[in-house]
Structure 1
Amino acid sequence: MKPTAPNWREIVASKLVSPEEAVALVKDGDWVWTGGWTSVPPQLCAALAARAGQVKDVTIVNFLSPFNWDRPEVLAHWKVITGYCSPFDRKAAREGRIEYVPVSQFREGKMPPGLDHIDVALIPISPPDEDGWCSFGSGVFFGPTVSSIATTLVGEIHENFIRTGGGNRIHIDRFARVCEYTLPPAQAPIPPRTEETELAANVICTLVANEIVYDGATLQFGIGDVSAALPVFLEEKHDLGVHTELLPGGIPDLVEKGVITGKHKPHHVGKVVASALGQVPPEDLARINGNPTYELYDFTHTDDIRLLLQIENFIAVNNALAVDLTGNVSSETQGPLVYSGTGGQAVFAIGASTAAGGSVIVLPSSTLVGDTRHTRIVAGHAPGTVVTVHRGFVDYVVTEQGIAKLRGKSLRERMAELISVAHPDFRGELKAEANRLYGITI
């Protein structure tokens, strides 16, 4: 990994234009990829949105976007598709202004069905090194795959982007035009954890670290309040590996202490593998930058189930909105209303459960909405609720009340396990509902 070339502006001089000139390449009828999460180019998106009345029949394609496309002037002229709802487009997807495509199939080198038609791709990149190579920064996501299928690439250059190993690079020659990002560093919209959630997460992560994670295991950390807090609780373990989608904070500490070595992984031995960095503090970012231990790859690589099934010591730790008494997990809808998306949760759970019996779902046992407490271990999911992970691929459910061990258990045994980790205020009600809905007495 070579550093940024001091004269990088000279290298890109023939392509360097304003954001408005860069997106002028978008023409009537184009499908435009605008990225996901930390791989969204804010200035290019804003410049493109300003052209909504000038270009006809454009389709915007994104995935967990922190840029707000829910604008009347945009939706009056264009169609917007997302494969994973963010806080900005959740309401629009629920009300039909933005199209949501459920995505759970990831195969290396292929965009998921429904997101696989791209004419122009807007991609944030680092400045080039002296050989012309740029990085995708801290978020590779679908960058390499999108770049291989899009007819035209438009880049947004961020001077502060880090460089890593893996598939985290693209040559400047692939870009028709680039602009330079000149605003303050973009921040992903991550709401802070409540005090109650933080307390629950501490107990849950302690249970997972002490009772489920074992020396030599390879871990996946799901996005969310609880699972992303796990690394700090793993300091007593040995020779862990990491193969994940989003890399949480705290990993560099574990690498430097020898807790994470990756020596038992079947592929990418000795490397920390992810597609993007999650909520990582600046000091972690500095230690990852240029460090050959860290490899970032395309989402279609990290989440390819054919690869995951080869990890014989795999533990996948993911969050949920609710779990029913038989173990079915809902993580993407509230009743019939979309909340987020499947993302990689389903494939990681299937891969870990099949390869190692290591599919772990973590969540607080209840949540407080206003002054009313609601159970998150439910008798049955509300009508229209999407099951993100089938109960057959859920081995453990962990709340601050304890660990429910579901693998190989009958329905009666599963219900007893799950009721035991529900909030005490709801256990009597759940026992009654188990009898009413399923005819099972607990």
Structure 2
Amino acid sequence: MINQYREKFVTPEQAAKVVQCGDWVDYGFGGGFPELMDKAVVARKAELRNVKIRGGLVIHPRIEVVECDPEQTAFQYYSWHIGDYERKLQAQGLVKFMPTLLRNLPVLYRNGHIRVDVAFVPVSRPDAQGYCGLGLSNYAWRTIFQAARTVIFEINEYFPTLQGVDGSHRVHLSEADYVVEGKHDPIPVRTYREPSLTDIQIARLVVNEIPDGACLSLGVGSIPFTVANLIAQSDLKELGCHTGTISDAYLAMYRAGKLTNRCKEQDTGRSTWNLCMGSQEMYDWIQEDAALFYPADLDYVHNPQRMGAYTNFISINGGVQLDLMGQENAESAGTRQLSGIGGQLDFLEGAFRSKGGKGFVCLASTHKKKDGTLQSNIVPFIGGGSTVSGPRTLIQYVATEYGVACLSGHTLRERAEAMIQIAHPDFRAELSQYAKEHFL
């Protein structure tokens, strides 16, 4: 079967010739990265101008098109979501950020709001019928390459080969214009720092709010990861997974016998996700136990209506700042972009729609400034230049080490009073004075 597609197989250097000056080229999102095509396009630097590359949340240790061209004459790099490596590049002025809700990405491509000329799609080795898995990142690939002028599959020999139980995570060689293969570096891993005492205090409060049989969406970051580890040590049982990014947090719950997905009204018995980022153990798990997972695209996973059909859908994410009305900054320090909103609002809305659902934004009550003094993360208002990532209308629960505030269904004054109760004691008087003056 594969032999009939052999004419599509070319070297990365040959495939790179399809890229033209002024093109928009999609690299994808998260752990899936077109390493060979990235290097092959760089080899054409001298003959290319104004090629615009789109990606996001990259964990690959190097993006060659950025590193090779600090003047940005041949290549310009755009990110939907700033990852750790991209943040370093951004500090050098080498990354342009594009804010979006992840669930809107397929609409942007499908309805022509943005242009894609060439798609570099990282895939797993094909099976005997010519089907490839989308590896670590289903993303919105099918929508993207249906809109692209040219589609190039890059086979990564390290990628897990799962294709989704009903083909939700697979593509076929016939859908590519060209296919490249070669030697890759091992898949980069994503790790988390050891939790602080504050992380543990917050996580304990949140775990106490989770019922048996709940379906969990855990964001990336230390607090969601700590929640999972505490769940693994708890008496909770029969939990499910429907999440944007599956990680070692879910592996910890699975090993403890907590993650069974038996109570899920959809995808029963399987963990539903769009991206996978974690340790090599995590990647081995989705390879060896592929039947336990339902990887699917953004239209499916990030759909709040679908999440709302679950009972007790629980969304847990981190934040940077919240103000007394409940507005959240999840992604910036002033005008400096730290990450992106990703799917946080998608899953907060999904929790709102769910019977028994709860959406949590978790953060420490304070952070230390460079001079060592404490600054409150609960503020009177989100400061000028900072991002309001989450509107007050979507923030349901806020958790700090001092408690959990429920905001939905309350007046501005009641919201302010609830937020003050979970602020650090050193800042409560100042916050109370502001609330007294501004919320009648």
- Category of TM-score, reference length = shorter chain: 0.7 to 0.9
With normalisation by structure 1, the TM-score equals 0.87
2:305 equivalent in structure 1: 306
Distance 2:347 2:5 in 1: 40
Distance 1:265 1:101 in 2: 34
Query: What pairs up with 1:298-377 in 2 under 5 angstroms?
Result: 298-356=297-355, 357-370=357-370, 371-377=372-378
Counterpart check, 1:27 vs 2:28: no
Distance 1:101 1:153 in 2: 23
Counterpart check, 1:226 vs 2:223: yes
- Deviations along 1:30-64, one digit per CA (max 9) or x if unpaired, are 22111112122123123223423312342222222
Structure 1 stretch displaced more, 148-157 or 315-324: 148-157
SS at structure 2 position matched to 1:203: helix
1:155 equivalent in structure 2: 153
The residue type paired with residue 386 of structure 1 is: T
Q: 1:271: how far off? A: 1.4
Counterpart check, 1:145 vs 2:159: no
Distance 1:239 1:65 in 2: 33
Structure 1 stretch displaced more, 347-356 or 98-107: 98-107
**8 Å Cα contact 2:225-2:249 kept in structure 1:** no
Query: What pairs up with 1:18-417 in 2 under 5 angstroms?
Result: 18-66=11-59, 67-68=62-63, 69-71=65-67, 72=69, 75-90=72-87, 98-104=95-101, 106=103, 110-111=107-108, 116-164=114-162, 165-166=164-165, 167-187=168-188, 192-193=192-193, 198-210=196-208, 212-235=209-232, 236-255=235-254, 258-279=257-278, 281-289=279-287, 290-356=289-355, 357-370=357-370, 371-417=372-418
Q: 1:378: how far off? A: 1.3
Distance 1:109 1:409 in 2: 35
Structure 1 stretch displaced more, 97-106 or 161-170: 97-106
- Deviations along 1:381-433, one digit per CA (max 9) or x if unpaired, are 11132211112222211112221222322323222222222223322332233
With normalisation by structure 2, the TM-score equals 0.87
**8 Å Cα contact 1:250-1:284 kept in structure 2:** no
**8 Å Cα contact 2:116-2:144 kept in structure 1:** yes
Q: 1:148 to 1:64 in 2, by over 3 A?
A: same
The residue type paired with residue 83 of structure 2 is: S
Q: 1:151 to 1:228 in 2, by over 3 A?
A: farther
Distance 1:21 1:213 in 2: 53
Q: 1:114 to 1:199 in 2, by over 3 A?
A: farther
Distance 2:221 2:35 in 1: 23
**8 Å Cα contact 2:106-2:140 kept in structure 1:** no
Q: 1:107 to 1:415 in 2, by over 3 A?
A: closer
The residue type paired with residue 362 of structure 1 is: C
Distance 1:11 1:106 in 2: 36
The residue type paired with residue 219 of structure 2 is: G
Q: 1:255 to 1:88 in 2, by over 3 A?
A: closer
Q: 1:297: how far off? A: 0.9
Q: 1:114: how far off? A: 7.9
SS at structure 1 position matched to 2:179: strand
- Deviations along 1:169-221, one digit per CA (max 9) or x if unpaired, are 11122223333342421426x5753x6x53222222221112x1111221111
Distance 2:420 2:330 in 1: 19
Q: What percent identity do the matched residue pairs reach?
A: 28
The residue type paired with residue 316 of structure 2 is: V
Q: 1:70: how far off? A: 4.0
**8 Å Cα contact 2:50-2:73 kept in structure 1:** no
Distance 1:363 1:24 in 2: 47
Distance 1:375 1:369 in 2: 10
The residue type paired with residue 40 of structure 2 is: A
**8 Å Cα contact 1:245-1:276 kept in structure 2:** yes
Aligned residues: 427
The residue type paired with residue 328 of structure 1 is: Q
The residue type paired with residue 127 of structure 2 is: D
Distance 2:361 2:23 in 1: 40
The residue type paired with residue 294 of structure 2 is: E
Structure 1 stretch displaced more, 127-136 or 153-162: 153-162
Q: 1:95: how far off? A: 8.2
Q: 1:251 to 1:64 in 2, by over 3 A?
A: closer
Q: 1:303 to 1:255 in 2, by over 3 A?
A: same
Structure 1 stretch displaced more, 93-102 or 234-243: 93-102
Q: 1:267: how far off? A: 2.1
**8 Å Cα contact 1:83-1:115 kept in structure 2:** no
SS at structure 1 position matched to 2:31: helix
**8 Å Cα contact 1:52-1:73 kept in structure 2:** no
Q: 1:141: how far off? A: 1.6
**8 Å Cα contact 2:308-2:352 kept in structure 1:** no
Distance 2:27 2:153 in 1: 11
The residue type paired with residue 337 of structure 1 is: R
Q: 1:317: how far off? A: 0.8
Q: 1:187 to 1:284 in 2, by over 3 A?
A: closer
- Deviations along 1:275-323, one digit per CA (max 9) or x if unpaired, are 11122x3333323214211111112321123323333421111111111
The residue type paired with residue 350 of structure 2 is: G
Q: 1:265: how far off? A: 2.6
**8 Å Cα contact 1:309-1:351 kept in structure 2:** yes
The residue type paired with residue 242 of structure 2 is: H
